């Protein structure tokens, strides 16, 4: 199966995106990505609620952010980030950056998708001066 290609004309760098093969999407998101995101957030709230912070604008919760500390790498990781589209790109992770720095870490990592739907997240990371680490994942249907 050859991958599908999508060209993003809105990206200042003209990045080429690959669509996710159907079998990969179906395995990760059998009930859809929204249901999976809610399950992931629920698991964090149930199992590691101390890692969750909320970001507020005018006393309204606009994001839920979870962090992990990896002392062996001197790194904090933002690993569950739920932000409605109308509140994206408002520097909501700054509080978490400070918490990670206060824990003695010297860098922070956040992961997002390479698909067109995550372009706003990637642009937000680049605006916040994150540096991309090129990672490639390969999947094969069995």
Q: Is 137 a member of any domain?
A: no
Q: Is 20 a member of any domain?
A: yes
Q: Is 122 a member of any domain?
A: yes
Indicate which CATH number applies to the domain containing 51: 3.40.630
pLDDT at 72: 97
Q: Is 71 a member of any domain?
A: yes
Q: What b/e string do you get for 61-87 counting C-beta neighbours within 10 Å, with b at 16 or more?
A: ebbbbbbebeeeeeebbbbbbbbeeee
What three-state secondary structure class fits 5? Answer: strand
Q: Is 32 a member of any domain?
A: yes
Does the reported pTM lie above 0.75? no
For 55-98, write each residue's pLDDT tens digit: 777 887 766 778 889 999 999 998 877 776 776 666 667 778 88
Give the pLDDT mean for 36-62: 79
For 98-113, write each residue's pLDDT tens digit: 889 999 999 999 988 8
Total tally of structural domains belonging to the chain: 1
Please give the residue range of the domain that contains residue 81.
5-127
Q: Is 140 a member of any domain?
A: no
Q: Is 121 a member of any domain?
A: yes
Q: Which residues, other chains included, contact 37 with Cβ-Cβ below 8 Å and sequence gap of 6+?
A: 82
Q: Is 132 a member of any domain?
A: no
């Amino acid at each position: 199966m050859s991958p599908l290609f999508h060209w993003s004309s809105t990206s200042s760098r003209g990045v080429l995106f690959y669509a996710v093969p159907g079998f990969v999407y179906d395995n990760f998101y059998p009930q859809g990505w929204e249901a999976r995101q809610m399950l992931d957030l629920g698991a964090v709230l149930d199992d590691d609620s101390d890692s969750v912070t909320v970001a507020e604008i005018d006393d309204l919760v606009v994001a839920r952010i979870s962090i992990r500390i990896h002392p062996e790498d001197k790194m904090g990781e933002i690993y569950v980030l739920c932000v409605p589209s109308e509140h994206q790109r408002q520097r909501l992770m700054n509080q978490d950056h400070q918490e990670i720095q206060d824990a003695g870490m010297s860098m922070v990592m956040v992961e997002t998708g390479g698909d067109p739907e995550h372009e706003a997240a990637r642009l937000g990371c680049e605006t916040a001066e994150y540096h991309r680490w090129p990672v490639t994942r390969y999947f094969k249907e069995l």
